[in-house]
Structure 1
C-alpha cells in the first residue's frame, strides 16, 4: 500500500478539499430494478426529503440506488499516490443502517490502489426503495431479496466497470452476510472476497437457539413492522459508546452525513428484519451451503464486537475451509465492529491487508 491514510488531525478538511472533489470527478449514479418478493411484484417507496425532487421520486420509486467510481477517470487526475495499473472492480456491500457515502474514505483508498468501486444501497437504506414510512426503521420481508439484488448488481453493473478484469467483494456486517450468501448461491460472481465483521449471526440479546422462536413469534402476532427492544430512532447526538476504540474524526464525519440527509437516518431494526437476519444465518451455516463456496476469502473479526457474534464467524470460516475453499480468519485485537472507523494506527494494517489480498495474483489453494 504505497499511500498514507488521511491525517486524523485534519480529517474533515482532507475529505472536503481532497477526497470529495476527486470522487466527484469519477462518480456515476444510477438506479436498478429491485427483486420481487415471493409471489408478488416489487414495490416500495423512497423516504421523503434529502433533496430528491417529486419528478425524481416518481422515476425512481421502487428502485435501488447505486453509485460507482471509475478508476480510469480517477487515474486521469494524475495523483502522485495513485497506481497507474487498473486491477478490476471492488463491490462494496454496506452494513445495516448504512449508505454508500459512508464509504467515501475506503473508496478513495481503493481508487488509489487501481480499482473501480461499485456500491449498491440495499433495499431500505440510503436512497433505495423502502417498504416502511418511518425513515429510522429497516424492514425486509425476505432476506433472499438482498441476495438477488446484490447478485444482479454485480452481473449487470459491476462487471461493466471491471471491463473483463476481476470483480472483488468488500462486505461489512450485514453486507458481509449478504455477500457470503452470494458466494454460496452464485459461486462464480466474485474472484475474491473480504468479509469485514460479517453478520454471520447477529447479536439479539437472546441465546441464538432461542432468538428465532421469540422473534418469529412476534412477527406472527402482527409485530413485523415494529421496532425491536433496545433500538431507537435516529438521534443527532453521538453516544459515548460510539467513540470507544474509534477514530473520533471518522465517527463525527459519519454522523454529520446522517444529520444532513434524512435517508441516512436509518437506525433501528424491525422484528421482521431481525427474523430474516436469523433465517439468513441458519442458511449461511449449513455445511452444504459452505461447500458451494469457490471464492478465496479473508474474514476480519473484531474482538470487541457489539453487533455480531464471533463464534458463528469462526464456524463459517472453518466450514468453508472444510468444503475445500481458501478462507482465512483475521482477528483484529482490541477492535470495534466498524474496522474502517478505527484510529490510523489500527486502521492502516487493516486497509493494507485488504488491498494486499486483492492485489495478490497468485492462485491461493487450501494447501498453501
Structure 2
C-alpha cells in the first residue's frame, strides 16, 4: 500500500501509529485507507467498514479500543465518500450504480492493505451499509473474514411507506438518465452532520455527535450529502435480496448482528427476522441505542463491547487482552 500523510489527519485525536494510504479498486476508484499495528502480541486484524456517508476520522475512538485489545486495525473510506474518489461530478454526491462496486472495494482492501501490512486472522466490524455489503458478500461465498460483527445492518429501511412505489420510481428515474441526481426530498448537498444535535436519529450522545460534526467542519471535503437516485435504486435492489427467507441461512461465515432498539434509520424487526435464520453466529438488540451504536453513550457502548469481546476472535483463538488488563509476566528469568 502506498503510504502518504493526509492533510486532514487530526494528530490530536488520531491514535498513534496511523499510516494513511491510497489503494485502487475497479472502475478507476481510488480509496483512502488507514492502518494501525498493535504493539507486541497480536490477536489478528479487525477491518472497520463504515456506513453510508461516514469517514475514517469518525472511528478514531473505536480504533483505539481495538488496539487496546491487541488487534491490528484497518479503516476504509468506501468509494464515493470520505477521502475516497467520487463516482459523480459533484463531490457532495456519494454515488454508485450498483452495490457490486463495493465488492471490488473489499477485494482491494484485502489485496492492497490487509495482506501487505496487517496480521492474520482477519475479522470485520461493519456498520449499516457496510454490514449489508458484507452480508451480501458472505452469502455469495466472497467473504474472506474468519468472522464479523455487523451493527444495525441495512437489511431494510425503517417505517418506509409505499416501499414498492418508491422502488419502482427510483428504477424509472435511473432508466430516464437521472441516476446521478440527488434523491428528491432527501436533503440535497448538505451533510447530515451540519444539522443540530437535537432531533438527530443517529446517537443520544451529544459529545460524540459534536466530535463527528467537528470533523466535518474542519475538513468539509470528507462529507457528502443525500444519496443519489442511483444509490437509492442500488440499495433497494440489495435489500430485495435480503427478503428471501433462505438468504441468511446460506451465510456460512460466523456473524454477530447487533441491532439498535431505538433505530429510526434501518428496520430493527427486519434485522431480527434476518438474524434468526443465520447458520452460525448470534444476534443482540441493545434496547436504548439509536442507529449509530458505536457513537452512542458509554452505557450502550459497554454493552456492545461485551458482545464483541464474547464473539471476536472466537472460541478457538487466543483471547485478546482487555483494556486496562496487564499482560502476564514472562516465565523466563
Provide TM-score, normalisation by structure 2: 0.84
Cα shift at 1:243: 7.6
**Contact conserved, 1:285 with 1:315, CA < 8 A, in 2?**
no
**Contact conserved, 1:187 with 1:292, CA < 8 A, in 2?**
no
Q: Which of residues 264, 268, 273 is equivalent to 2:231?
A: 273
Cα distance 1:92–1:334, how it changes in 2: closer, same or farther (>3 A)? same
Partner of 1:141: 97
Q: Which stretches of structure 1, 4 residues or more, deviate above 6 A after TM superposition?
A: none
Q: Does 1:31 pair with 2:22?
A: yes
Cα distance 1:243–1:187, how it changes in 2: closer, same or farther (>3 A)? closer
**Contact conserved, 2:216 with 2:222, CA < 8 A, in 1?**
yes
**Structure 1: unaligned runs, 5 residues or longer:** 1-14, 36-41, 44-61, 76-83, 364-368
CA distance in 2, matches of 1:220, 1:125: 24
More helix by proportion, 1 or 2? Answer: 1
Cα shift at 1:143: 0.9
CA distance in 2, matches of 1:110, 1:144: 29
Q: Which of residues 325, 343, 358 is equivalent to 2:312?
A: 358
**Contact conserved, 2:37 with 2:118, CA < 8 A, in 1?**
no
The CA deviation string for residues 258-317 of structure 1, in whole angstroms up to 9 with x for no partner, is 111122221211111010011111234445653442211110111221211223312321
Cα shift at 1:174: 0.6
Q: Does 1:338 pair with 2:292?
A: yes
Q: Does 1:208 pair with 2:163?
A: yes
Q: Does 1:67 pair with 2:34?
A: yes
**Contact conserved, 2:32 with 2:83, CA < 8 A, in 1?**
yes
Cα shift at 1:114: 0.5
Partner of 1:198: 153
Partner of 1:224: 179
Q: Does 1:348 pair with 2:315?
A: no
Cα shift at 1:346: 1.7
Cα distance 1:186–1:153, how it changes in 2: closer, same or farther (>3 A)? farther
Q: Which of residues 195, 200, 204 is equivalent to 1:246?
A: 204
Count of aligned residue pairs for this structure pair: 305
**Structure 2: unaligned runs, 5 residues or longer:** 1-9, 318-333
CA distance in 2, matches of 1:223, 1:315: 34
**Contact conserved, 2:93 with 2:228, CA < 8 A, in 1?**
yes
CA distance in 2, matches of 1:243, 1:129: 27
The 5 A counterparts of 1:30-179 are 30-35=21-26, 42-43=27-28, 62-71=29-38, 75=39, 85-163=41-119, 165-179=120-134
Provide TM-score, normalisation by structure 1: 0.76
CA distance in 1, matches of 2:95, 2:299: 36
Partner SS state of residue 223, structure 1: coil
**Contact conserved, 1:193 with 1:297, CA < 8 A, in 2?**
yes
**Contact conserved, 1:304 with 1:336, CA < 8 A, in 2?**
yes
**Contact conserved, 2:290 with 2:296, CA < 8 A, in 1?**
yes
